[in-house]
Structure 1
Amino acid sequence: MSTIASIDVRQQAYQTTLASWLDANAEALDVEPSLAREVLPQLARAGVFAIGVPPTLGGSGGTIVDAIETVAQVAQHSLTAAFVVWGQRTFIEYLLQSDNTPLRDRWIPALLAGEIAGATGLSNAMKFLSNIESLQMRATRHPDGWSLNGSLPWITNLRRDGFLAAAAFDHTDGTLPSIFAIPHNTGGVHRSDDLDLVALRGSSTAALKVEGTVLGEQYRISNDAPAFIARVRPAFLGLQCGMSIGLARRALSAVAETGGGTRAAIHAEATDIEAKLGSETSRLLNGVADGSFLQRPASLFELRISLAETVSAAVGLEVQAAGGRGYLREQGGTARRVREASFIPIVTPSLVQLKGQLALHERANRS
């Protein structure tokens, strides 16, 4: 796994170890929760979460583009691990873009070290921003800050050993919605058992409920949720797209590793998919880097949809190339990648939701 140039030799050794560990445990991470506690420390030791974080805050430098590429690199080995990276690194990005400096300074070191999990519970808020659904959480003024109530049915990286979960709350007094960082050990915070997923079972994915949880200003990430969500959406979706990029790359690599006759038969299809993936990746990274997705979110939605289609095509081609061998367990990971690829269209915001938003956008432009 290569990374930005600022990573030292020792860190590169940790990343080589990480790649080996992920390859050895990718199947277990996908089908059972037994290694869920080990994922975050393994990733942290390799410096994965520090990429794109300023050195002044303990990071290794670089930009959010480097972080997206890192998610893609991890996804080539395990989509479960990449899903965890997405959750942790996206939460870190929230703190980097927050005006709450004390909150950032207090928690960034522990997040980078993997001592606590960062859970991005803003999927509901992203859908709220796009008028897909209302906010599911409520905040009421309290002498010590705000009393928080509500539930979110699906959050990844809710690590049992400790987490901070970001969630957006509607205010009962009519003020702008806020985003809070919710510590796992605060009164009224309840984590469900792990969800009974068909795959990605090592990702510590669970439901979260808060009942009368009282938090003060020190835990408020933003006092203007709509503006903040719009600002972080390119990073949120960009890091998410890194999962698609990495999975598609790995499927195409598997195709390239098949016998000569098989490769020759599907060479044209593989070349087309690879070219499409390269174009989509460049457009994604350039759009995130230059900020153009802030003004053109529809373009980012289109890319997310297009990348999901590319993943489906790449994994489908791998299935053809693997033949009957790919239908056997423990035979090169083809079956696992089919399961992983089935998750890409439904991760929030889902392709159906994005297509609905694009249809509304097109109708608005015509009117």
Structure 2
Amino acid sequence: MTINRTAVLQTIIEEQLKPYVKKVDTEAFYAENFLRKLGEEGFFSSENKTVKEYILDEMVIVKETAKVCMTTAFCVWCHLAALTYVRNTKKDGLKKQLLPSLEKGEILAGTGLSNPMKFYAGLEKLHLSAKPTQGGYTISGVLPSVSNLGEDHWFGFVAGINENEQIMCIVPCNTKGLKLKEKVDYLGVNGSATYACSFTDVFIPNEWVLSEDAKGFIEEIRPAFLTYQIPLGLGVTQASISSIEIVCQRQNGCNQFLNEQPEDLKEKVESIQKKLEIIFSGDRLNWKDIAAVKLETSYLTLKAVQASMLHNGSAGYIQDSPASRRLREGYFFANLAPTIKHLEKMLNG
């Protein structure tokens, strides 16, 4: 991303996000205008870019947003995940219908792949079933949590026809038979526009089917899907480091005796960034390499947010303090599918 574009991004963050961060955290405010502004200013555009170029640029958007508010950065990630589905579908009609509006932020979208990712890892049963019918499929079942949704938003999902066949589709939230119930009872990240989605014989026309081979399609898109998550943790980690540096001289410099110091955390961030550079220098993105970096980032984020709490002391223990917000964001990131335990099982099981 050029210096000029980075400056534009920072301006949007300053004007459209920073004034609302506390409201996002304490009142479950959804920063929809911020997301739409990013699209309007071309930050989701893949035009005249290689796949690696637009992924790297969009990772910067996620990281810079996460430094200020990881809840909203998570919403950005949800939209980028949905963009990844549409960018990679072989259904040209669907791509032509949705991609321009998604990249311009005219349509926002979420990702319903938490359950399918766990299903393919052998951790859960698939929650949605699909019955072939004339012109498409009827879908039934419940997805407990899908984020970055709204009345005019879309989201991706996977449904099983039988044990061996699954389809992946994308659907608008206002479709007949689809009911959304907002969820705002989480420890944090309540401003992520998260809903339980109940399908009752919802008709999905063939035009909304991303792939008839969901497993193969997910294997194709999951490297980008996962890569976009890594800057969520890096952004929170870097914000935690900055918060530690601000308070380093308080109480006569007593913080110097704590085990985790900014320099230690910075070294680990640099190590992760070098690993990402190596990954992107190859011919294609390797899923297991990315998964290993996501796992390392998850543990580093937990370490950084806890260190920030200790360095900030009683000031961090206030419920709506930035340090306590980042602590909750860190635990959310650790449990974002694929979770730490999912990654550990996959890489070390």
Task: Write the mapping of 1:145-184 to structure 2, written as runs, cut at 5 A.
Answer: 145-159=136-150, 161-172=151-162, 176-184=165-173
Aligned residue for 1:306?
296
Note the 1:45-194 alignment, pairs <5 A: 45-50=40-45, 53-55=46-48, 62-159=53-150, 161-172=151-162, 176-194=165-183
Q: Against the structure 1 CA distance between its residues 320 and 193, is the aligned structure 2 distance closer, same or farther, given a 3 Å change threshold?
A: closer
Q: Secondary structure at the match of 2:190?
A: coil
The corresponding residue for 1:364 is none
Percent of aligned pairs sharing the same letter: 24
Alpha-carbon offset, residue 84 of structure 1: 0.4
Alignment correspondent of 1:238: 227
Preserved CA contact (<8 Å) 1:65 1:289:
no
Name the structure 2 match of 1:271.
Answer: 263
Q: Which amino acid aligns with 1:124?
A: N
CA contact (8 A) 2:17 2:31 kept: no
Match of 2:308? 318
SS of residue in 2 equivalent to 1:187: coil
Q: Is the contact made by 2:30 and 2:192 (CA closer than 8 Å) also made in structure 1?
A: no
Measure how far apart 1:232 and its partner are. 1.1
Residues 55, 128 of structure 1: alpha-carbon distance in 2 compared, 3 angstrom cutoff:
same
- Return the TM-score normalized by structure 1: 0.85
* CA deviation profile, 1:15-51 (whole Å, cap 9, x unmatched): 413234322221211222244544433443454433x
Residues 226, 39 of structure 1: alpha-carbon distance in 2 compared, 3 angstrom cutoff: same
In the other structure, the counterpart of 2:35 is 40
Q: What corresponds to 1:286 in structure 2?
A: 278
TM-score normalised by length of structure 2: 0.89
Q: Does 1:351 align with 2:323?
A: no
Question: More displaced, 15-24 or 251-260?
Answer: 15-24
Residue of structure 1 aligned with 2:22, choices 14, 27, 34: 27
Decide whether aligned partners of structure 1 residues 330 and 190 sit closer, same or farther in structure 2, where only a CA change above 3 A counts: closer
Contact 2:70 2:236 in 1 (8 A): yes
CA RMSD of aligned residues (A): 2.6
**What displacement does 1:123 show?**
1.6
Q: After superposition, what is the alpha-carbon deviation per residue over 1:110-167, rounded to whole angstroms, capped at 9, x for unaligned?
A: 22232322111112222222222232211111112111122210111112x3111101
**Could you list the runs of 5+ residues in structure 1 that have no partner in the other structure?**
361-367
Aligned-partner Cα distance in 2 for 1:245–1:135: 31
Q: Equivalent of 1:208, from 182, 193, 197?
A: 197
Structure 1 residues 50-79: Cα deviation after superposition (integer angstroms, max 9, x where no partner)? 3xx1249xx999321221222111100101
Residues in 2 aligned to 1:320 and 1:104: alpha-carbon distance in whole angstroms? 48
SS state of the match for residue 212, structure 1? Answer: strand
Query: Alignment partner of 1:324: what SS?
Result: helix
Give the 3-state SS of the residue equivalent to 2:171 in structure 1. Answer: strand
The one-letter code matched in structure 1 to 2:128 is M
Give the Cα separation in 1 of the matches to 2:154 and 2:280: 26
CA distance in 2 between partners of 1:227 and 1:353 (Å): 20
Point out the more displaced range, 216-225 or 86-95.
216-225
Number of aligned residue pairs: give it.
Answer: 346
* Partner of residue 323 from structure 2, selected from 307, 318, 334: 334
Q: 1:187 to 1:285 in 2, by over 3 A?
A: farther
Q: CA deviation at 1:329?
A: 5.1
SS of the residue corresponding to residue 182 of structure 1 reads strand
Further displaced range: 198-207 or 122-131: 122-131
